[in-house]
Amino acid sequence: MLQVHEIREKKDAFVKALAKRGIDAKKDLEAIIATDETRRNTQTQLDDVLSQSNKFSKEIGMLFQKGETQKANQLKEKTTQLKQESKKLQEQLNAAEEQLQTMLYDLPNVPHESVPAGTDEEDNEEIFRELDIPTLEEGSLPHWELAKKYDLIDFELGVKVAGAGFPIYKGKGARLQRALITYFLDKNTEAGYTEYQVPLMVNEDSARGTGQLPDKEGQMYHITNDDLYMIPTSEVPVTNMFRGDLLKNDQLPIACTGYTPCFRREAGSYGAHVRGLNRLHQFDKVEIVRVEHPENSYKALDGMVEHVKNILRELKLPYRILRLCGGDLGFTAALTYDFEVFSTAQDRWLEISSVSNFETFQANRLKLRFKDENGKNTLAHTLNGSALALPRVLAGILENYQTSEGIKIPEVLVPYCGFEMIKI
């Protein structure tokens, strides 16, 4: 959530930056400034009325002590009027604050200056590519056919149990999943991230704090009886562990990692591009989250990008990095780098990680602050990234490592899963 004082001070710059998202935000920002002005004026009026009412109350007591009953009763009538006026002003203030909060919640983050303008994924900027795309043997299969051939994943059984988008991993498929999760967590903890095991459901305050609400309300599974939401990523519960905190300067940076299943409705997703593991309602992901001093957050973002690079190098999967354009940038992000692995059998790139800096956008919603070097309460910067999302990593391994003899296992994963090859 943007801060009102920054909107007031940097309105023209924000209008220009938000135009990268394809948004003409001038009227919205002006409306926010006007609503805040109404709120401030109303607060001033209310403070004046309350001050006058308190002054009269003291005078009334003194007048009664002096026996000046008539004057005291006259002032009591005035205080009654002031109470009615203060009640009306308080209602107006509450309405203005609620309206302002709603307007701020509906406004996306301001893109970083390096974000390219654009409308959709076609305008994303490729900034890095590594490893050659392998040449597969004739008759190579996409991962959903390989999963069936080698009895690794049962998509039909998942439909029976829960519905489409809920695959069941079995045998070596399940062991490979477990190996990837453990490997990712080990890499993250070795890099200094503290591992957490967090709830798979969050309350409304948590979903609102990290920006899933109101932006992605229709994409989250909502348990209405308990008013809880199934998490779309562990970023939500992990980041909300620090909601409302006032940290000490020497507590920063904070680096967290966690594995969770993730749940997304993916409403409106159809077609060949969502086959197999390409898009699911439930999937596994290992996440990294950082809370940083504002001066260090972009250096930390670069470090997160290098960390994910190193994992993909060890897996020896061909990948590229995209800097997302304004039109493809997530609601809460100031800057996002997407990692994509090449699916050789499908002849397409598959997103496997997003690494983002949210600057103060989430921290303002969360009221996550720290005492800076001058003792001032300052909003922290929050960052997160996938390290990594499993379904498409697994798809990439199955497709890129397939041979006529079976599916090889990346060398780095062999100690984790206990086998070097998947054969019939």
Predicted pLDDT of residue 273? 66
Chain centre to alpha carbon of residue 38: 31
Q: What does CATH list as the number for 4-105? A: 1.10.287.40
Q: Which residues of the chain have pLDDT under 70?
A: 267-273
Any known ligand binding at 354? Answer: yes
Predicted pLDDT of residue 422? 98
Any known ligand binding at 233? Answer: yes
* Alpha helices (H) in 191-225, listed in sequence order: 204-209
Round to whole Å and give the CA distance between 277 and 104. 36
Predicted pLDDT of residue 338? 98
Predicted pLDDT of residue 33? 98
Q: Where are the domains of the chain?
A: 4-105, 121-422
Any known ligand binding at 287? Answer: yes
Any known ligand binding at 266? Answer: yes
Predicted pLDDT of residue 270? 57
Any known ligand binding at 351? Answer: yes
Any known ligand binding at 384? Answer: yes
Give 262's contacts (C-beta < 8 A, 6+ positions apart): 231, 232, 233, 234, 282, 283, 284, 285
Round to whole Å and give the CA distance between 326 and 147. 37
Please classify residue 92 by burial: count the beta carbons closer than 10 Å to its beta carbon, then call 0-12 exposed, 13-18 middle and 19+ buried. Answer: middle
> pTM of this prediction?
0.93
Round to whole Å and give the CA distance between 340 and 27. 37
Any known ligand binding at 297? Answer: no
CATH for 121-422, options being 1.10.3720.10, 3.40.50.880, 3.40.190.10, 3.30.930.10: 3.30.930.10
